[in-house]
Amino acid sequence: MDWTSEAIERLRALWSEGHSTAEIGRRMGVSKNSVVGKAHRLQLPARPSPIRRDPAAARPVAAGRRPTLPPLRVVAAAPPVAPVPAAVMAAPAATPMPPRPEARRPEPRVAEMPAALGAPKPANVLRPFARASARSCCWPIGEPGTPGFRFCTAESLNGKPYCAEHAAVAYVRVKDRREDAA
């Protein structure tokens, strides 16, 4: 790859549009490593990296193996706040300006959920936050923090946090979002 100024410009553009390095590579007909390497050399703003390479954590192995197993085992006490269904999160396709790593706090965009799924269950009207047993669906309905917010609470699938209806929406295949149109 000869990095002409045009190529560099394109790389910068795609990079700033938040495309993955592999995706940029695909579009430009080069390897992901090429893209990463060049971006690195150009000192383009780093993306949220899946790995953390600070010196402290860098040598957990070299500095001697952990001699004993961690002594304590915390048994999960309370479940976190409203779980965000996978489907709701899967929408990074064409984010114009990717947030900085620290700022990356995806907020549940519950409002975008299919309206058809939001039919209130009578049983919950008086128990807005019921998600009593592990067998009741914890799909959030409504805007968290607002009066109408509640969970679905229909009987959830065996071993799943959602009922059949919501599981179908939650476990969506987001693969192959190749972003071909450009």
Query: What residues line the site for DNA (CB under 7 A)?
Result: 1-3, 19-23, 30-34, 36-41, 46-53, 57, 61
Nearest-approach distance from CB 66 to DNA, in angstroms: 13
For DNA, the closer CB: 39 or 110: 39
Q: Cα 69 vs. chain centroid, distance in angstroms?
A: 31
Residues 110-125 as b/e (b if ≥16 CB within 10 A, e otherwise) read beebeeeeeeebeebe
Q: Which long-range contacts (CB under 8 A, 24 or more apart) does 2-9 make?
A: 3/38, 8/38, 8/42
Residue 165 CB, shortest distance to DNA, in Å, is 26
63 vs 115 by CB, closer to DNA: 63
CB closer to DNA, 98 vs 118? 98
d(CA 92, CA 89): 8
Based on CB atoms, which residue is closest to DNA, 2 or 146? 2
